[in-house]
A and B are shown apart, each in its own frame.
Chain A
Amino acid sequence: MRNIGLIFRRELAAYFATPLAYIFIIIFLVLAGTLTFFVGSFMERDQADLQAFFSFHPWLYLFLVPALSMRLWAEERRTGSIELLLTMPITMTQAVLGKYLAAWVFTGIALALTAPIWLTVNYLGDPDNGVIVASYVASFLMAGAFMAIGSMISASTKNQVIAFVLTTTICFVLTLAGSPIVIEFFANWAPPMLIELVNGLGFLSHFQAIQRGVIDFRDFIYFASIIGLALYANALILDLEKAA
């Protein structure tokens, strides 16, 4: 725990040591706001909820999270600091978790800074705050799942552009897996079991399920397993590279 904490703190501080953190947060807030008010017609909907706000999160994360995750391991590899980190008396699990948690918490900070829109909707009307809390949780979990996949991809390449493009692509496919477009594509020929599987794999369906305020344990299990599996693969990839 101690080592995870030390790596976590170092990583989180590193975000704020460069303009990266501030640029990321500003772009996230500006885009989230713009999409909510102009594309999502927050005002015109005349409803006291944050549906318009949260519905854009998957698409925001789709390119903002890979922008953060791409450097997680690729940067360590490029500068050679990975050799330093992995010859310290720490386990691979501690290294992977420390770095991942810092990146995830960082997206959490960006997400928390959207709180004014929550206050606004409470000022303007009488929203169901339970649903909003659930939506924040869902949004944070989804960012975590994207980040875990990004961390895994970042471990497998020295090239950050490749890491970015691959992560975005994989997350895009996973996001859409449960959407009508993909399901229709499978509907005509695939056995129902496969369709069910593809449907279950989709980020979007799980995100929307929690977002409706229906806290289903399975949706949490889903995100937790994606994160767990991706980070396990992340550590495995790093171990394999040592033996390559």
Chain B
Amino acid sequence: MSAVIETVELTKTFGTKTVVDNLSFQVGRGEVLGFLGPNGAGKSTTMKMITGFLTPSSGTAIVEGFDVARDPIAVKTAIGYLPEGAPAYPDMTARGFLGFVAGIRGFDGAERRKRVDAAMAMTELAEVAEQPIDTLSKGFKRRVGLAQALLHNPPVLILDEPTDGLDPNQKFGVRKLITEMAAEKSIIISTHILEEVDAVCSRAMIIAGGKILVDGTPTELAARSCKGSLDEVFREVTGNA
């Protein structure tokens, strides 16, 4: 299995604080990697570096063979990214916003409309298509962010807390969507919800203090605890980190 996403000794320091510490890992096609870890563990910072929003202090990330430092546009083209908090342009309507993103992603005319419609159908946005994003509920805003990330059918998806703020039905919907896409993509999601790892991830990584503490399949991880639950492992490995 060749790596689609690879981080090479990825490091980020803010002042004297090391947020991501020499992180090296690989994600192959068909893999869904779940980032777990307490707040401030470096999950979002790692994602921001892979997507080219932050420049690493040292090390680099390689996506589909392109180095994010040398070829950021190629990396950004290959990635669909849902940033933390699902930001968007609040004054735009959901359709207008997705149309803008589709334009930037290189789609025009009928193809652009088709892409926008397809992304809205996947994330069930049709009923709020003409509403300003400002006026949408948290769940819809998150789905607009998701639609924006899926629109160009990218080989790589990086989703920072994709189900945060969704109700149980919506969570189920998003997880189903991720599972359906998993086979032909490489996906990294970050989450606080451990059951989500069980539900969608083929591999889980617990990070704290910018370091990988545990890396394995959800079952392997759970087996490490005497009680056999992910919750237990999470508390055990991050409790004193």
- Complex CA gap A242/B103 in Å reads 25
Residue of B nearest to A10 (CB): B100
* Binary contact track A1-12/B, C-beta < 8 Å → 1, others 0: 001001100100
Q: Interface majority SS on A: helix, strand, loop or mixed?
A: helix
Interface size class of A (residues with CB under 8 A): 20 to 34
Within 51-66 of B, Cβ neighbours of A (below 8 Å) are at 51-55, 57
- Complex CA gap A81/B82 in Å reads 11
Q: Total interface residues on B, using CB and 8 Å?
A: 31
Q: Which of A58-66, A87-95, A213-221 contacts B (4 or more CB under 8 A)?
A: A87-95
Q: Interface majority SS on B: helix, strand, loop or mixed?
A: loop
- Complex CA gap A242/B52 in Å reads 9
Q: Is the CB of B14 within 8 A of A79?
A: no
Residue of A nearest to B55 (CB): A243
* Binary contact track A129-140/B, C-beta < 8 Å → 1, others 0: 000000000000
Q: A80-B87, A83-B53, A243-B55 are known contacts. Are A89 and B92 too (CB-CB below 8 A)?
A: no
Q: Is the CB of B53 within 8 A of A86?
A: yes
Task: Give the chain B neighbours of A79 by CB distance below 8 A.
Answer: 87, 89-90
Task: Give the chain A neighbours of B148 by CB distance below 8 A.
Answer: 84
- Complex CA gap A142/B33 in Å reads 52
- Whether, in the assembled complex, B101 has its beta carbon less than 8 Å from a beta carbon of chain A, the answer is yes
Q: Is the CB of B103 within 8 A of A89?
A: no
Q: A6-B100, A89-B77 are known contacts. Are A81 and B88 too (CB-CB below 8 A)?
A: yes
- Whether, in the assembled complex, A113 has its beta carbon less than 8 Å from a beta carbon of chain B, the answer is no
- Whether, in the assembled complex, A244 has its beta carbon less than 8 Å from a beta carbon of chain B, the answer is yes
- Whether, in the assembled complex, A115 has its beta carbon less than 8 Å from a beta carbon of chain B, the answer is no
Nearest-CB distance from B55 to chain A (Å)?
4
Q: Is the CB of A14 within 8 A of B91?
A: yes
Nearest-CB distance from A19 to chain B (Å)?
11
- Complex CA gap A183/B238 in Å reads 65
- Complex CA gap A65/B78 in Å reads 38
- Which residues does A use to contact B, with CB under 8 Å? 3, 6-7, 10, 13-14, 17-18, 79-84, 86-91, 239, 242-244
